[in-house]
Amino acid sequence: MALAALHDTVLEVSLSMGILKYLMDAPLALEDLAEDDEEMARQLHWLLENDVSDLNLTFTHCLEVNNKRQHVELKPHGGAITVTEENKHEYVSLVIETKMRKLSRAQHRAVKEGFFMCVPPNFSEAILVHDLRKLLCGITTIDVDDWQAHSDLLGFSPDDEV
């Protein structure tokens, strides 16, 4: 990935924003989780939009780890901490962080170490996460109007048949 970024070569893969944000030390958002787990993102969005007082949630979450479901504490003594209206944003952030980073920490760390063996240390200061995604993966949609606006036709006119 790092060599592709340095040599302006598009990879034929689609990397999730979660991985790219991990590389760049950028904070995760609910939209990033939606790329990987749309249903969980929808549930967490519901929690943010509704009153959680009567749900009896604690700072634990049931996640699938190595094809087994297990309850994980989102923070120390999380099973004893009730989710309230005041702390539900922290709860959602911790669920996202746990699901997207902590469960695959070793793999992410290996990718990051390999990446930064090839690019300068200040690389993450010089480029935004969205730009890195475009640099590595290209764009998946073509804006025909933008393409036409930035194209020069030599020996042809826009009315010519293709």
Asked if residue 8 has pLDDT above 90, the reply is no
Confidence bin at 54 (pLDDT 50/70/90): very high
Taking only the tens place, the pLDDT of each residue in 80-100 is 999 999 999 999 999 998 888
108-116 LR contacts (CB < 8 Å, sep 24+): 108/19, 108/22, 111/1, 111/19, 111/22, 111/23, 112/22, 112/23, 114/2, 115/1, 115/2, 115/23, 116/2
Residue with the larger pLDDT of the pair 62 and 10: 62
Give one word for 56, left, alpha or beta, with left for phi > 0 and alpha for psi -120 to 50. left
Is the pLDDT assigned to residue 22 strictly greater than 80?
yes
